[in-house]
Amino acid sequence: MQSRFRSDRRLTVRMGLTLFLLGLLYVGFIAALITLLRSWVLVVVLVGAMFVAQFWFSDRIAMFAMHGRVVEREEYPELHAVVDRLCAIADMPKPVVAVSDMDMPNAFATGRNPDHAVVCVTTGLLRRLEPAELEGVLAHELSHVAHKDVAVITIASFLGVLAGLIVRFAFYSQVFGGGRRDQNTAAIFAAVLGVSAAVYALSFLLIRALSRYRELAADRAAAHLTGRPSALASALTKVSGDIARIPTKDLRTAQAFNAFYFTPATGKEPGIERYLSTHPTLEQRLEQLGRISAELGEAASPGKAG
């Protein structure tokens, strides 16, 4: 079913291109592992099992990692009311609604398709935002679900996760068992490690490029759906400022899921790191919302609504 969120052809093209390039990388990676390990059955079974597990259970994995829990209407009636209203406006299925008991103000969406999706907000976000700001954030997350880029990021991130696990396994195997291997085995491990590291680096760059664009696309879609880009800009400003005041040590656990968050858990605006970031800068996002506000003739300026 097509939702009423604005279609974004550029986002669709970028998702297709990213998946195509990652697909080529995936095939090459599997072929290299089969050649090096000399057991196509082992490689295909292990990789296939991991892919199915990540794709089908990505929502549960993310919810578990971020301490999220499904909440019913009786417990959070206002939160459900906002999601209900936005889903009715967007003409899309209502996702499962969840809350994470974290002080860090943030939100994320996950799931393999609009019929099996979860939208989760932290208690820190609920405490800090005004109703119009919360609506903007939830519209942003719902646009990720409607445009199916949540599923694309989940699929795209699989190859990087797999390559990262192989790198880690190979590293610890060399550290703790290097002395017990002959030279041939050591050479195979070194080759697997090199291939995995290269695949991880390439998939990392491809995913970051797509992730930055999809965040701008979600901001655009949310601003047009709600008609209040200034409220979303206000939420962005408030959330980014509050995250910057949270100690870095308290953000480290959350940083592994930055690609899924409304705002990255970095605690500061990136410098040169912006080119490797999962999100565009706050200034880029506010500038875009400012343009949309002007197009819509919105009276309030970005960052002043509430």
> To 10 degrees, the CA torsion angle through 230, 2, 216, 235?
30
Strand positions, DSSP E, the chain: 68-70, 96-100, 107-113, 116-122
User: Cα separation of 198 and 193, whole Å?
Assistant: 9
Gap between the Cα atoms of 267 and 200, Å rounded: 25
Write out the binding residues: 140, 144, 215
* Paired strand residues for 113: 116
Per the annotation, the verdict on 141 as an active-site residue is: yes
CA-CA distance, 6 to 216, in Å (whole number)? 13
Question: How far is Cα 121 from Cα 78, in angstroms, rounded to an integer?
Answer: 13
Burial class of residue 123, CB neighbours in 10 A (0-12, 13-18, 19+) = middle
Spatial distance between the Cα atoms of 89 and 5, rounded to a whole number of angstroms: 9
Active-site choice (133, 141, 295, 298): 141
C-alpha span between 140 and 215 (Å, rounded): 8
Residues flagged as binding site for Zn(2+): 140, 144, 215
Beta strand 116-122 with 96-100: parallel, antiparallel or unpaired? parallel
| Burial tier of 184 (Cβ tally within 10 Å: 0-12, 13-18, 19+) | exposed
In this structure, are residues 103 and 259 in contact, taking their beta carbons and an 8 Å threshold? no
Active site positions, annotated? 141
